[in-house]
Structure 1
Amino acid sequence: MPDPIFSDLYRDTEHLIWAPTEQVRSRGRQRTRRTRVAAALTAAVAVGVVASGMVALGRHPDAAPPPVPPATVDATTPGPTPSPSGSAAPTPSTDPGPSRTAPAGPPATSESPSARPQSRAVPAAAMLQLADLPRGFEMTTQVEGDWSLEYVTQHCANESPSLAVRQVASRSVQFDSPSDYLVERVTRHSGTSATTVMQRVRQLVTGCEPVQPGDSLSIMAESLGGADAVLVGSEIGGVPSRWIFVRQGDLVAQMRLDHQTTPAEARGTAKSVASRLCAGTDAC
């Protein structure tokens, strides 16, 4: 008698229609090919991944995996243990001790332009220029000879007042031509001393007592330009001379002119001198 298991199996498969043998073999071969193709694709993907990793390591040989941060442990500081006697335990001193902070240095000083002292020198721009004179003159800074009004005072019997009242700076220039020469000297004076200089010019001229008869010193014209200006004329030993004095702020210009200069001509020169002086003072 057949085994019951085989009897049941036979009964379940008795009416099944089995595929032909050749068809079963064909399906087996197809399944085998699909399995091999899948295995080949899996191997190719694995090789590609490994190759990519090798290339990345080749480009960054020193690269290292990011370090794992250490675990943070919150330490709990135990509080003071109460004294058995009930009295509070002494609290540890919290005095940090001597400070180690470096001592503060000296305060920084301002180096802005406004903190520096202003220069008192007379700038070249405050002097008369060739453009202010007739054609034919040449300019030089080599001033020669005794040309100033102060030199003429040696022909006065009395003592003349000094014109260098609190003088702090001076600049001179000379203009030469084939027939004559002009000289200008600009001086700077402290405070209101420039006004005092102009007053002394008038005192020097009007107070002069000529040593020789026939010599003279006089004010020929005033208010010629600038804040104050005078034209001074002299005749010493029969030789005439002319000077103009022009004040602008704390600057005073003294200029030797041609000995035939008239008050009208001196006015034009004085205005040019006053205009140039404005380049050396903020009083304009």
Structure 2
Amino acid sequence: MSNAPITARSIPMPVLGLGTFRLQGQTVIDSVKSGLSIGYRHIDTAQIYGNEAEVGQAIAESGIPRDELFVTTKIWIEALAADRLIPSLRESLTQLRMDAVDLTLIHWPSPGDAVPLKDTLDALIDAKRLGLTRAIGLSNFTVAQMREAAALVGPDQLATNQVEIHPFLQNRAVIAAAKALDLALTAYMPLAYGKVMTEPVLLDIAAKHGTTPAQVSLAWLLQQGFTVIPSSTKPANQTANLDAPRLRLDDADMARIATLDRGERLANPDFSPAWD
């Protein structure tokens, strides 16, 4: 492994970011440009999204200095092997028009443990030492897999585990285990593909606060200490989402939302790990 020093600067990960999952072409360019103009400074993408080049274009054309942004990408399962990870990350950086990203995640655990986790983590740490990424982390890791990763490299090396969390999938076992490891969580699909907008409980809480069910869902996640990365293509919705940290839910609101958990997992490909 390389012993090259880490020369890239590092900024804290903003607790509210702009997701780009399922956004393609001009749609993602417009979404990222709009988000940056509104005030987002945290952009989340991934190799498998097929939009890194467009995200990079939008950032470049936004005029926002790179050192004011936090950019995350994720290594796809086909590039988890020790000899493939760094070349694939370099390809991502070329697409993104960047010398380094702020955070690189293992997008999914290697299906069937085909690639030993130690090999992937060692390659990620090497990428960090080379200055290609400022932090590393996990995504879609189960309790056992989080514990294995933390045991291999130490929890202080891992910036986050990005997992699906929303009112209908509250992922309590993973949350508890992450807290025990002192590992931060990032919630993706926080609005459950928009399903939160029609949930009567969330509509009622939103009416009480004079806001929207989307803001309620985001505030619920933020108040638990998670980072959230909602995706939106409409500037009005992006603005509303960015305002979510200002909303404070009371204990009664939080208790009512806790009753909505129904284990409704939206991201569940056939190579998923055995969920907790």
Q: What TM-score do the two structures reach when normalised by structure 1?
A: 0.21
More helix by share: 2
Identify the structure with bigger relative contact order (alpha carbons < 8 Å, sequence gap 6+).
Answer: 2
